[in-house]
Structure 1
Amino acid sequence: MEKISQIPASPMDFFLFPVWLHRRISIRLPGLLVAFLFVGCFDLLFYENLAEQSVFSGSPGRVFFRIVLFLILSFVVGAIDVIFTICPLADFLQMIGRRSEKYVHKRISVILMKSYAISHVLFIIPYAVALYSGVDWTQVGPVSAQQIRMLYAALATLMPILPFIQLGVLYRTISIRTRIQPFGKLILICAAYFWMQLSGSVVVFVEGLAYSLLLG
């Protein structure tokens, strides 16, 4: 078997992450808990501009309470996001594996949950620029500074394709960690696209509830 250190680099490593990273995704619980917290922090940080809402301002006691509450809500939201999004897809993947008699790890759900969490790294910089740069993107026009217009064009181009790159990350994890044939993987990714559209609406609703509690 080819060693991880000997796997040649690929242009897709930049977008879909290196093969060695997908192979090293473990099935251990502590890493999954970290994944829940990471995704939840991402969801709440980029739901609204927390700096504009002065969420973490005030007396030291108030700030400490808000930080603790933020972490608790992040974990809950992240767990709901990850589990609700990935578990049905993992079950579907296992069904495909049984039908095609191809190897699928019995803890593939944990592997995919962590892969899904890792895929959120792709969104951090674009979302941070869009939400926390201080630019009113609705006012960008021909009279705006060239740098702002170029940045706006880059975000407008990148944002719509990021969800598809995220699906590509999941596809690469499935390709590396299972023996499912390409047709089965394609069916799963198509199902994942439509399911994530539906689950995303539920996650946004949960984010709204958590955000209300955070501001309350």
Structure 2
Amino acid sequence: MILMFIMAIILGIGGFLAVTYLAQRPDTPAEAAPGSEGTFTVVEGVEVQVVLDANKTVDVIGPVDGQRTVEVAPTQPPEQPVVVVQAEEQPTAVQLTPIPQPTATFVPPTPVPEKVILIDYIVPANASLYEVASRIDTSIALMALYGLSAEDLVPGTTIRLPIGNAAYCPGRRPYAVGEGDTAYSIGRRFGISAEQLQQINNLNADFRVDVADILCVP
């Protein structure tokens, strides 16, 4: 009788303790203890949901007094490969030496010889303008153009006689055009046509010749 009474007391105390324990057990997963960054304390028997994080690891340290301490430590980020960028060597600029340009050499045009030159002429005895003008390289009109007249023809004196310049007609002879001359008459005198005389002396289309002018003839 006494034994049954003692067992009833023991069962009552055990039931009371069980109810008290169940009442005090937390219903939610453990949270991080304040002030312990990265460490979580979990009570034994309590379901814990662990969310995987590639940057963290989970280490079980417990048990201590029915508790297990789960330490979550961040993992070291993977080392990034060091990329060495080698600067490309820039080519050295080549200093070009300017090439001097050849300078044009001025060549003066060849001067055209004068049509008429003056020569020293000794007046012979009984000379006349017609006699002096018998030369093909002068004429009475040419002598008059240079101021010579019959009064200047004093025998034995030297005068400056204008004549056609031979250098003006290389390979040909100078002819002084007189009064009444035409391209046709001059051509017949020297055995050429008026067209040939025109071509040699660059006459115009009218075959014009001027008195006292110098033409080149064969």
**Range of TM-score over shorter length:** under 0.3
Which one has a larger percent strand, Structure 1 or Structure 2?
Answer: 2
The structure number with the bigger radius of gyration is 2
Q: Flag the structure with higher helix content.
A: 1
Which structure ranks higher in relative contact order (CA pairs < 8 Å, sequence separation ≥ 6)? 1
